[in-house]
Structure 1
Amino acid sequence: MSQMVNDKLIILHTNDIHSHFEMMSANAAVISRERKAAGEQAVLALDIGDHMDRAAVETEGTMGQANVDVINLTGYDAITIGNNEGLTVPPSALEAAYAGLLCPVVCCNLYELDSGKPPAWMKEHIIIEKNGIKIGITGATAPFSQFYTLLGWNSRDPETSIAQQVQLLRDQVDVLIVMSHLGIIADKILAERIPGIDIILGGHTHHLLEEPLFIEGTAVCGAGKFGNYVGKVIVEWKPDEGRYAVTGGSCIPVSGEELDPEVERAVLIHRQQAEEHLKEAVAITDRKLEIHYDQESSFANLLAQAVRHYASSDISIVNSGQLLGSLPDGEISAGMIHSLCPSPINPCVIKLSGADILQALEESLLPEYYDKKIFGYGFRGKVLGGLAVDGMEVLYNNEGSSYHKIIQASVQGIPIEREREYRVGTLDMFTFKVGYESLAKGKDIVFMLPEFLRDLLRQELSRPGALEQSFLHRFVPLI
């Protein structure tokens, strides 16, 4: 243990910025201001993951390099990764982006399947010394095991992994911090079950704790989302106890009034470069594809076709809310498809009963479903939208009562059987019981990574006859 050289440590933390580049300059300005105000006192700046989000042009067009440059210019001492870095950026691209990172990436529960070791750019823990205060830091990210395995990762149990790191670090440091991209429920459990942690800086569930929550002597913290707050934790030397302890904390609101000129300039340059990169033409169309959320539309049908062809499934089911606007005719660029389908959502294949398919289709005809606002689970749209299908036809009566509108549904010309299981191409989002919950009842799920829906759209746009097929009606109203 170190001798007491300084009596105070200030920790600044951010989480779940999700590529809100319009807030990054202001965040950097707040962190810079707090550093100056601290004077000679020790200051530590940490980010708790999901800094990247490929819904943003800057991240998509630079594959995360824009985020890395902002992290460097802001002066973070360490970061961990969230599911948006780990699951939506291909491992090779993430390695390339982090090659330019000036601070360590700390995470103790992700390992390469091939080597059994963390990737070269990741550390299980670090020890930083600030003004004589030894600070031990470890981190962990949400273990989406099935997804990570497909990308060549082994995501281990975070509680076990953190407990091992705490045991290694505790006697070597004055202050022990866990950067947890696990969510508030997991953070509370960690505080209850693992002795020796001084501070848990949280993320993933976007929770805002305006002051630390103390559980079994551990300060649990979280600074909201999207760069709206910078968290601040104050640690001071307690002479009567002979140790450092958390004495306070807060979340500093971030407005657009303070700006960091270097970060502002970097964001502008990256946006220009990303937009230029995404100008690449991927298709030329001779007709406009409309999108509607309350009725069948050709663009949503195209997405359903894209999923079915990619998944080689009996049928496909997608929600129209994945598409944020109509696809115009003429030259289609990569950036245009990205702006219309920004969600980092992957296709999957499930086995689903005819009864559960019919339940979802009935719900799809009701405004309480197609107008429903959805947040999270990778979804970057505004409303859920109705369902679009391929490989089936639905005869319905819109004047019928709720859940009794469908007169007949056929799969490739054969009436659907309620008890039979069908191989359905759909979206990973639905497996999390969001939106159309009967779709989460599917069995034998096969997730398909790393392709996003927009990648499938690009493929479908180049398939001969795809545009014509998208105008063929799947939902046929009773006249």
Structure 2
Amino acid sequence: MKLTIYHTNDIHSHLQEYANISAYLAEERPKLNHPSLYLDIGDHVDLSTPITQATMGKHNVELLNSARCDIATIGNNEGMTISHAALNQLYDKAHFDITCANVFDEAGNLPNHLTSSVIKVIEGTRILFVAATAPFTPFYRALDWVVTDPLEAIKDEVKAHEGQYDVLIIMSHVGVFFDEKLCQELPEIDIILGSHTHHFFKHGEVNNGVLMAAAGKYGYYLGEVTMEIQNHSVVSKKAELYANADLPQVATDFELEGKRLLSTPVINHEMNLPRKTNVISKTSYLLAESIYEFTHADCTIINAGLIVRAIEGKEVTEYDVHQMLPHPINTVRIKITGQELKYVIIKSQKQEYINEYAQGLGFRGDIFGGYILYNLGFIESESRYFINGEEIDDDKIYTLGTVDMYTFGRYFPTLKDQATEYLLPEFLRDIFKEKLLEY
């Protein structure tokens, strides 16, 4: 038996590219004279796209239905950027299986419509699909989910189905380094379909006998794995990628539809909120103030590049606010000593990233921009630092309100190791919108 598995991952609501992939699948799958499956390996949903925001990801599920998806798993965007209730409702109308072995509610139940694994029998061969997602524990806990160790979850699920399958396929939304380790830990795996770290293998990569396949990000590629199965065992396997630029290019109206769905006015009077990344503007100051108030912090620091678009007009709609702050970024409260806070202030004044093109960690803008300090002051020549007009005490514990992207160590390494409370599910745009209602 020959079996073809098409796979996508980390689409991140790049729906134009996904429309091209869907058109290709609709054209090519019926031409095959053997069975085929289509799997999505997570992060299909990304609320940085208006139509995804407006439907809380349900439009993405409709698109997966239209593409005749057979199995999907969840990435961190499905698991962490929508509320607990929204994830439980996300797949209400899915026509495909959804599986993930390592995310549970506090009672030990999987999210609605998810199973811990899937077995599909194709021409008498039993294929076990096991999936796991990246364990961003603080974020999941803030949303009342429990995320367990993905390696142990996969091992447990495979062991639980011992003797019940012939072929083993792992759907991993944990990243390439995890997948490489998995090849060593479970060499009986036939194929790992990988994602999360946006890696790709043009022709797959064999590691300890396991074929690793991955299709990058944003729908730039469609993955295809072809297996030859004899006597219920895989005798050959190969992987290919198809560049989106070479697929049928189709017309879409996703942006217009998203704008229509987010057309509700937030403010119905004149508003001028400029975007400036290299100086403090009214807009960035208001954003810093809104985060300061929302986090109930002693002080706040943000970067001006979080403001992606200006707003100017006679009204402000949900769409306008979304476009200004499209990031799936949440706020945090960080407990930090005065001495460490001084270090943060000093580092911020170097403005190392003010003109840097930033990518990842939830940031959906372009230029990182300069740092904005709120309720913080300093006299550089005297090395004196202040909160609310009072000199900072090195030994005192303060609360810093800021954005979660600073807690991963890229911009302020010292913040990675501090006591941090993640405030979910509100995004920056939700917090800023409430601030705008005061004006």
Normalising by the smaller structure, the TM-score range is over 0.9
Amino acid at match of 2:155: A
Please show how residues 436-451 of structure 1 align to structure 2 within 5 Å.
Answer: 436-441=412-417, 443-451=418-426
**Residues in 2 aligned to 1:233 and 1:218: alpha-carbon distance in whole angstroms:** 13
Q: How many residues are paired up?
A: 439
Three-state SS of the structure 1 residue aligned to 2:357 is: coil
Query: Which of 266, 272, 282 is the aligned partner of 2:266?
Result: 282
1:48 aligns with 41
The reply on whether 1:432 has 2:408 as its aligned counterpart is yes
1:334 aligns with 318
Moved more, 132-141 or 366-375: 366-375
Structure 1: give runs of 5+ residues left out of the alignment: 1-6, 397-404, 468-479
Q: Deviation digits for residues 217-262 of structure 1, max 9, x if unmatched? A: 21111110000111111111357xx7214421111111275046xx
Same amino acid, percent of matched pairs: 32
Please show how residues 162-311 of structure 1 align to structure 2 within 5 Å.
Answer: 162-238=154-230, 243-255=233-245, 258-259=248-249, 268=253, 271-284=255-268, 286-311=270-295
Per-residue deviation, 1:18: 0.3
Per-residue deviation, 1:37: 4.0
Tell me, yes or no, if the aligned pair for 1:294 and 1:367 is still in contact at 8 Å: no
**Residues in 2 aligned to 1:209 and 1:290: alpha-carbon distance in whole angstroms:** 42
Amino acid at match of 2:143: L
Per-residue deviation, 1:91: 2.6
Instruction: Give the 3 Å change call, closer, same or farther, for CA 63–154 of structure 1 in structure 2.
Output: same
Tell me, yes or no, if the aligned pair for 1:107 and 1:122 is still in contact at 8 Å: yes
2:302 aligns with 318
Per-residue deviation, 1:274: 2.9
Q: CA RMSD in A?
A: 2.1
Tell me, yes or no, if the aligned pair for 2:51 and 2:261 is still in contact at 8 Å: no
Name the TM-score, length of structure 2 as normaliser.
0.94
1:72 aligns with 65
Query: Which of 88, 91, 101 is the aligned partner of 2:84?
Result: 91
Tell me, yes or no, if the aligned pair for 2:299 and 2:374 is still in contact at 8 Å: yes
Q: Deviation digits for residues 295-321 of structure 1, max 9, x if unmatched? A: 222111111111110111111111111
Amino acid at match of 1:372: E
Amino acid at match of 1:415: E
**Residues in 2 aligned to 1:53 and 1:76: alpha-carbon distance in whole angstroms:** 18
Runs of 4+ aligned residues of structure 1 deviating over 6 Å after TM superposition are none
Amino acid at match of 1:461: L
Structure 2: give runs of 5+ residues left out of the alignment: none
Larger radius of gyration: 1
2:94 aligns with 101
Please show how residues 10-159 of structure 1 align to structure 2 within 5 Å.
Answer: 10-39=4-33, 41-113=34-106, 115-159=107-151
Tell me, yes or no, if the aligned pair for 1:352 and 1:424 is still in contact at 8 Å: yes
Three-state SS of the structure 2 residue aligned to 1:232 is: strand
**Residues in 1 aligned to 2:264 and 2:290: alpha-carbon distance in whole angstroms:** 20
Three-state SS of the structure 1 residue aligned to 2:377 is: strand
Q: Deviation digits for residues 75-112 of structure 1, max 9, x if unmatched? A: 11100000001111223223333111100111011111
Tell me, yes or no, if the aligned pair for 2:91 and 2:112 is still in contact at 8 Å: no
Instruction: Give the 3 Å change call, closer, same or farther, for CA 440–327 of structure 1 in structure 2.
Output: farther
Tell me, yes or no, if the aligned pair for 1:294 and 1:386 is still in contact at 8 Å: yes
Name the TM-score, length of structure 1 as normaliser.
0.86
Instruction: Give the 3 Å change call, closer, same or farther, for CA 361–370 of structure 1 in structure 2.
Output: farther
**Residues in 1 aligned to 2:247 and 2:230: alpha-carbon distance in whole angstroms:** 37
**Residues in 2 aligned to 1:440 and 1:384: alpha-carbon distance in whole angstroms:** 19
Moved more, 385-394 or 176-185: 385-394
Tell me, yes or no, if the aligned pair for 2:56 and 2:86 is still in contact at 8 Å: yes
